[in-house]
């Protein structure tokens, strides 16, 4: 398939995947393997590399597939293909809401979206906390409240929380590096 054909295929993938990068990856697999552009084994290897690379998996996959097939230009073209539909939709929504931003229904919708986003962030934080600090299997086995919390993890979490509150202008990368060092030492 030509690079232009792949560009339009990735535009189709970017436009038709609602639900995040994993949905896009599933559609990529359907389209690329069915058309024999890449093999199933290659695709699985690409998923493994893309999962371990920082960033959204859909964009990582587009980058990797583009590079494997057409080099640097392939990466750039497929990234543009998968991102362009979302960018166009966001620009259209922004223009639409800009002209109606003072309307009560739009304000109420934005207010509701903020509440939903805050809830999603809270759930994500709770999920991380539940895995990192709480030791439910040990608690279920012993039924002792002292086994409910991994106290070293809780202490490190509280320390990082206090540092972040105290030094609000501290760049998060310093906390990430400190967390990695403390994790290597303590755990």
Q: pLDDT of 36-79, one tens digit each?
A: 999 888 988 898 888 888 888 889 999 999 999 999 999 999 99
- Supply the pLDDT for residue 95: 85
Could you tell me the end-to-end alpha-carbon distance of the chain, in angstroms, rounded to an integer? 49
Evaluate whether 77 touches 7 at the Cβ level (below 8 Å). Answer: yes
- The full set of domain ranges for the chain reads 3-99, 104-186
**Nearest Cα to Cα of residue 60 among 111, 22, 95:** 22
> Is the full-model pTM beyond 0.85?
no
Cα distance between residue 177 and residue 96, in whole Å: 42
- Confidence band of 178 (pLDDT split at 50, 70, 90): confident
Count of other CB atoms within 10 angstroms of residue 88: 13
**H helix intervals, the chain:** 3-16, 21-34, 40-52, 57-99, 104-132, 136-142, 151-166, 172-186
* Digit-coded pLDDT (tens) for 69-113: 999 999 999 999 999 998 999 899 888 877 887 888 888 888 888
């Amino acid at each position: 398939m030509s690079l232009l054909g792949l560009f339009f295929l990735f535009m189709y993938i970017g436009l038709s995947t609602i639900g995040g990068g994993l949905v896009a990856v599933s559609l990529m697999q359907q389209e690329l393997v069915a058309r024999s552009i890449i093999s199933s084994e290659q695709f699985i290897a690409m998923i493994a590399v893309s999962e371990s690379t920082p960033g959204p998996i859909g964009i990582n996959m587009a980058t990797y597939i583009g590079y494997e097939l057409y080099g640097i230009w392939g990466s750039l073209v497929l990234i543009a293909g998968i991102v362009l539909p979302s960018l166009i939709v966001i620009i259209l929504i922004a223009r639409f809401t800009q002209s109606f931003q003072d309307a009560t229904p739009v304000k109420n919708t934005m207010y509701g979206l903020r509440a939903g986003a805050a809830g999603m962030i809270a759930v994500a934080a709770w999920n991380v906390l539940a895995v990192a600090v709480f030791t439910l299997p040990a608690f279920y086995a012993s039924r002792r409240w002292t086994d409910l919390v991994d106290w070293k993890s809780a202490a490190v979490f509280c320390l990082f929380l206090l540092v972040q509150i105290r030094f609000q202008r501290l760049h998060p990368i310093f906390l990430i590096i400190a967390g990695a060092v403390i994790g290597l030492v303590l755990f």
